[in-house]
Amino acid sequence: MKGYMLIGGKRVFKKEEIEITFPYDNSLVGTIPRGDEKDAELAVEAAELGFKKLKEMTPYDRFRALERAARLLSRRSKEFAQLLTLEVGKTIKEAMGEVGRAVNTITLSAEEAKRVLGEEVRFDAAPGVKGKVGFYRRVPLGVIGCITPFNFPLNLTCHKVAPALAAGNSVVIKPSENTSLTVIKLAELLIEAGFPPEAVNVITGYGEEVGDALVRNEKVRMITFTGSVETGKVIMKRGGLKKYAMELGSNAGVYVDSDQREKLSLIAQKVALGGFTLAGQVCISVQRVFVHKDLYEDFLEKLCAFTQRLKVGDPRREDVDVGPVIDKGAADRIMEWIEEAVSLGGEVACGGRRLGETLIEPTVLKGVPRQAKVVSKEVFGPVIVVNQVSSLEEAIEAINDSPYGLQAGIFTNSLKGALKFSEEVECGGIMVNEIPTFRVDQMPYGGVKESGIGREGPKFAIEEMTEIKTICFDSSF
């Protein structure tokens, strides 16, 4: 597919192009234009016009257009899933799952379009004020820049674009240079569903070029970003006075309590799925597992038994469970981190081999010291570290010993323990008797510490993407 930018509804091509390749075998999937500062400027200008045009649409119109977009996407599920598999390298099963979630995210946003509400303000509750009545409303910001990562190009873009449109904002999307083709198709679908072409723009290219120009543009009122902590920090330094929503990385932790012997197989299975889905390239992948010492060896045995049954290979095949990581550079880094963990005293419990340029066996490491990168940083690959602890308190301390705080999980029968864990663990979401990888698209989702700022989930994203306007009448004048 020859990709293009979408600026004010027009397809824009450039001489200089970037190749998009299939992570499994490096074959060519398509190309995208290498956009520059001027393209970002033109897209923002178009979006300013788009914002004006959106004002002509009532909340009901926006609801209808989003509903229609969800239906169109649902009808074209297979086509979108196949492209996702080629761009991201995720298995066809995972790709179908992502399309289903994207349909849901758009539908949820459609519903929220009718509920962008304010409330009455009691002006006369201040001393000496009489006869003043009024309210506040939530109004759209204007042009929102949406910068998205490679791992869920469809659903994570929907998490930004659908709530933005629901609230009446126009958007300029800058997708990952690895996975832009899916996003271009999504933008066209939104326009086909009824949004003004100027309201949904896509610029493609490198983050440091066209992405940076979008971030620095003063007419952009908000940047909603999902990606790595490093990029998030750069964006907030350069973007100046605007709003920011930051959905960043993590090294999610989970604790398995001593009273979980009966459920150990099921927990091991959940942990393996949480750690190896999308070859571990999920921001809430299970990365650090802390198991009570009484169950440690049994848990490792069950986890490895399940892990070794996972089929690794060509993600286009229906029977494959784990596909490649995004590129050779990522695979090199992950293998280096595994080697470092072993050199610092950790052991490979299962896996650990590289099966191809971008294929890594699902790997379980044990007894890895905290300073190892596979513990202290975000692996973003198919690696789970299992360490033993002697108490809930030790598990909480270990989970909190991280710069990140997106989600954490605990498996326990103790209500008191679960409450203590949910109060003391510093994360945006706590899953009790569930892995930290659990997410449904309507829940408030986002991190604390270096995992981010703000919450997504259409209702909550709309709060971030609107501002309050206060209106006061003097009824006695």
| Residue 446 beta carbon to ligand NAD: minimum distance, rounded to whole angstroms | 7
195/53 Cα distance (integer angstroms): 9
Tell me whether residue 94 or residue 247 sits nearer to ligand NAD (CB atom). Answer: 247
* DSSP letter assigned to residue 279: G
Asked if 67 is an active-site residue, the reply is no
10/423 Cα distance (integer angstroms): 51
251/270 Cα distance (integer angstroms): 17
212/420 Cα distance (integer angstroms): 42
- Residue 394: what are its φ and ψ, rounded to 5°? -65, -40
Residue 467, strand partner residues: 139
Tell me whether residue 361 or residue 378 sits nearer to ligand NAD (CB atom). Answer: 378
Asked if 304 is an active-site residue, the reply is no
SS3 content of the chain, % helix, strand, coil (to 5): 45, 20, 35
| Subset of 285-324 contacting ligand NAD (CB under 6 A) | none
470/463 Cα distance (integer angstroms): 15
End-to-end Cα distance, the chain: 65
176/150 Cα distance (integer angstroms): 5
Residue 239 found at the interface with ligand NAD (CB under 6 A): no
Tell me whether residue 161 or residue 300 sits nearer to ligand NAD (CB atom). Answer: 161
Tell me whether residue 223 or residue 268 sits nearer to ligand NAD (CB atom). Answer: 223
Residue 145, strand partner residues: 172, 223
| Residue 202 beta carbon to ligand NAD: minimum distance, rounded to whole angstroms | 11
| Subset of 414-473 contacting ligand NAD (CB under 6 A) | 452
| Subset of 261-290 contacting ligand NAD (CB under 6 A) | 283
| Residue 417 beta carbon to ligand NAD: minimum distance, rounded to whole angstroms | 27
- Residue 445: what are its φ and ψ, rounded to 5°? -135, 130
Catalytic pick from 98, 177, 188, 283? 283
Residue 228 found at the interface with ligand NAD (CB under 6 A): yes
Residue 407 found at the interface with ligand NAD (CB under 6 A): no
| Residue 210 beta carbon to ligand NAD: minimum distance, rounded to whole angstroms | 8
| Residue 359 beta carbon to ligand NAD: minimum distance, rounded to whole angstroms | 18
| Residue 264 beta carbon to ligand NAD: minimum distance, rounded to whole angstroms | 28
| Subset of 121-180 contacting ligand NAD (CB under 6 A) | 147-152, 156, 174-177
Closest residue to ligand NAD, judged by C-beta, is: 207
- Residue count at the site for ligand NAD (CB under 6 A)? 30
190/196 Cα distance (integer angstroms): 9
Q: What is the largest CA-CA distance in the chain?
A: 79
Active site residues: 247, 283
List contacts with ligand NAD (CB under 6 A): 147-152, 156, 174-177, 207-208, 211-212, 215, 226-228, 231, 234-235, 247-249, 283, 378, 380, 406, 452
